[in-house]
Amino acid sequence: FSVLLAVAIAMFLPETLPPGQRRPPRPSELLAGLAEVARDRAALQLIGAAACNFGGIFLYIGAAAEISYQLLRLAPDQFGRYFWMLISGFLIGSQLSGWLAGKISASGQLKLAYVLMGSAVLLNLLMAAVVDEHQWWLYTLPLALYAVGSSLGFPVLTLLLLDRYEQLRGSA
């Protein structure tokens, strides 16, 4: 399937960069571009921020079975409830990011994203300390809120990184 997909992309997906901005697919040039990015402290901070945002989500995903079965006491056929909130958060955050694009600054959108993610973490800690009932919807609300913040911030971080290296855009 992967080979078929690669062939279909090569044949039917048009190149979006003008010919003068295209980069040849040489591994040495790709590695040189990656090395250039790796030496840039600001780029590494943007990459680290994006990685930590998704790291928070993947921590939940990795612990999904334990959380679903032990904490939320869900049956095997109810396992999807855990992910419904996560996917809903991603979709809402993505839509919100599109609506806010051009209406608020990049820093304003990032601040909002981190306020949402930080609030989700605090809410989760508070609920773990105070709430004794194991209501699946109650415990997954912070997860959805974190996913909204992550989806809201990731496009901004990506664009800030791409803007630092416009000459390397064709390398991806």
pLDDT tens-place string over residues 110-119: 999 999 999 9
How does residue 169 score in pLDDT terms, banded at 50, 70 and 90? low
What local confidence, expressed as pLDDT, does residue 98 receive?
A: 94
The predicted model scores a pTM of 0.81
What local confidence, expressed as pLDDT, does residue 135 receive?
A: 75
59-85 mean pLDDT: 83
What local confidence, expressed as pLDDT, does residue 95 receive?
A: 96
What local confidence, expressed as pLDDT, does residue 61 receive?
A: 85
CB neighbour class for 7 (10 Å; exposed up to 12, middle 13-18, buried from 19) = exposed
What local confidence, expressed as pLDDT, does residue 171 receive?
A: 55
pLDDT above 80 for 107: yes
149-153 mean pLDDT: 95
15-38 mean pLDDT: 81
Q: HEC profile for the chain?
A: CHHHHHHHHHHHCCCCCCHHHCCCCCHHHHHHHHHHHHCCHHHHHHHHHHHHHHHHHHHHHHCHHHHHHHHCCCCHHHCHHHHHHHHHHHHHHHHHHHHHECCECHHHHHHHHHHHHHHHHHHHHHHHHHCCCCCHHHHHHHHHHHHHHHHHHHHHHHHHHHHHCHHHHHHC
Mean pLDDT of the chain: 87
